[in-house]
Amino acid sequence: MSETKKFLMTYEGVKKLEDELEYLKAVKRKEITEKIKVALGYGDLSENSEYDEAKNEQAFTEGRILQLENMLKNAEVVDESEIPTDTVSVGSIVKVKDYDFDEEVEYTIVGSAEADPMNFRISNESPVGKGLIGKKVGDVVEVNVPDGVSKFEVLDIRRA
């Protein structure tokens, strides 16, 4: 029997998922129901692209609702007061020197459900996140990434 995956999350991440779930259930479902009603009014369903599109959107939305409910049910919220400031962990904001680009970058380490690399929120399960977990200020880490190996030096750690 497989073990249920726990989703490490910050309080902010849980709130964001709860808000999305509420929107999908309260607003999006009603919008899709209206689209289906309108499409049914067009008659013959065999050539009704509006109906097909609405049903596809409905299936996608219901799938996302199930996914969010599962993530929230299995969420393990990180207590922000317990986030250490001497080592990198989930919930930490870590400033690193990226030797590949010769620049300083700040990453927030989050659980996989909250990852948003475009906004420098990286998962503890990603190669860089995994490489930084447990490191201290001054540590230099080399991480295997799809492009090869990246080198980072931990400059600062603080709570998110």
7-16, 49-58, 147-156: least confidently modelled range: 7-16
Render pLDDT for 45-82 as a digit per residue (tens, 0 to 9): 778 888 999 999 999 999 999 999 999 999 888 887 78
pLDDT band at 108 (very low <50, low <70, confident <90, very high): very high
Question: What is the CB neighbour count within 10 angstroms for residue 157?
Answer: 22
Give me the phi and psi of 76, to 5 degrees please. -120, 105
Structural domains in the chain plus CATH codes? 7-77 (1.10.287.180), 80-159 (3.10.50.30)
Q: Which residues of 68-105 are buried (b: 16+ CB within 10 A; e: fewer)?
A: beebeeebeebeeeebeeebbbbbbbbebeeeeeeeee
Sign of CA dihedral 102, 108, 114, 120: negative
* Residue 2: band (very low, low, confident or very high) from pLDDT cuts 50, 70, 90: low
Gap between the Cα atoms of 98 and 116, Å rounded: 19
- Residue 88: the pLDDT is 92
The predicted pLDDT at position 106 comes to 96
Report percent pLDDT > 90 for the chain: 66
Strand residues in the chain grouped as ranges (E)? 7-9, 75-77, 92-98, 103-110, 121-123, 140-145, 148-159
pLDDT greater than 50 at residue 1: no
Q: With cut-offs at 50, 70 and 90, classify the pLDDT of residue 122.
A: very high
Tokens 């991480």 correspond to what residue?
143
